[in-house]
Amino acid sequence: MTNPIYIVGDIHGYMPKLQTALQRIHADGGPDAQIVFLGDYIDRGPDAPQILDFLIEAQTMARPWTMLKGNHDTFPRRFIETQSSYFLPSRDLSWLNPKAGGAEFLQSYGILTEGRPDADIALDAARLIPQAHLNFLDTLQLTFETEDLFCAHAGIKPGVPLDQQIEQDLIWIRHEFLDDTRDHGKLIVHGHTAVEHPDHAGNRINLDGGAGFGRPLYPAVFEGKEVCLLKETGREPLRALANA
């Protein structure tokens, strides 16, 4: 029998939601459950420092947890190095814009953002964000896979072998991947694109149910390709739309 793997989507700075997800995993799989986090630990919510401390401690304790890199997890280092918040793919959107959530991240470290030049904010960020937090975000791995599953924050570039995917696609891709219905060889498990509720598209599963936008964080348990969400009432099967 395949050992279950628990996968958690985008947390986006909400420690209570992470705690609830882990409580449900513990109740289902015990304290030593294998967990994969799909990235985007920060931005939008107020609890980034606590979340990063918690995950770093878990690494130190050698818990069987795998932390993947999300696109938001690359933003603090980029901001400090460039001293500019205008580095997102849409160049007219600042990381400090409410849509991106960078202001909430910086404010959680006591860094004032409103009405200040980016360069001044970046200097404060370099001084007040612990180096351990930046190092953790820098060194997150990009993928996790089993015989049946391939996990990445955003997804994959269709048509490219899984072992040849590049970071830009793994943490940023959207519609080219989301709109592709072909079999990718393994079931792709991702987050990144917030939806109203986690969904199963047959060839991929999106676990970003919008925790960064006020919705719950639903952990999932996989046994092979079979998947259930862990909700307050227990396991709830997540089936492909065509079979719903």
User: Angle at Cα 107 formed by Cα 152 and Cα 133, nearest 5°?
Assistant: 45
Q: What is the model's pLDDT at position 244?
A: 37
Mean pLDDT, residues 10-22: 98
Confidence tier at 92 by pLDDT (50, 70, 90): confident
The percent of residues in the chain predicted with pLDDT above 70, rounded, is: 98
Residues 117-169 have pLDDT tens digits of 999 999 999 999 999 999 999 999 999 999 999 999 999 999 999 999 999 99
User: Is pLDDT above 80 for 2?
Assistant: no
Q: What is the model's pLDDT at position 89?
A: 83
Q: What is the model's pLDDT at position 233?
A: 92
User: Is pLDDT above 90 for 91?
Assistant: no
Cβ pair 153, 192 in contact under 8 A: yes
- How high is the mean pLDDT of the chain? 95
Residues 170-200 have pLDDT tens digits of 999 999 999 999 999 999 999 999 999 999 9
Residues 51-70 have pLDDT tens digits of 999 999 999 999 999 999 99
Mean pLDDT, residues 34-48: 98
User: Is pLDDT above 60 for 235?
Assistant: yes
Confidence tier at 24 by pLDDT (50, 70, 90): very high
Residues 198-211 have pLDDT tens digits of 999 999 999 999 99
Mean pLDDT, residues 97-118: 96
Alpha-carbon span 143 to 27, nearest angstrom: 26
Confidence tier at 243 by pLDDT (50, 70, 90): very low
Cβ pair 96, 113 in contact under 8 A: yes
63 Cβ contact partners less than 8 Å away, ≥ 6 residues apart: 35
Q: What is the model's pLDDT at position 149?
A: 98
Q: What is the model's pLDDT at position 195?
A: 97
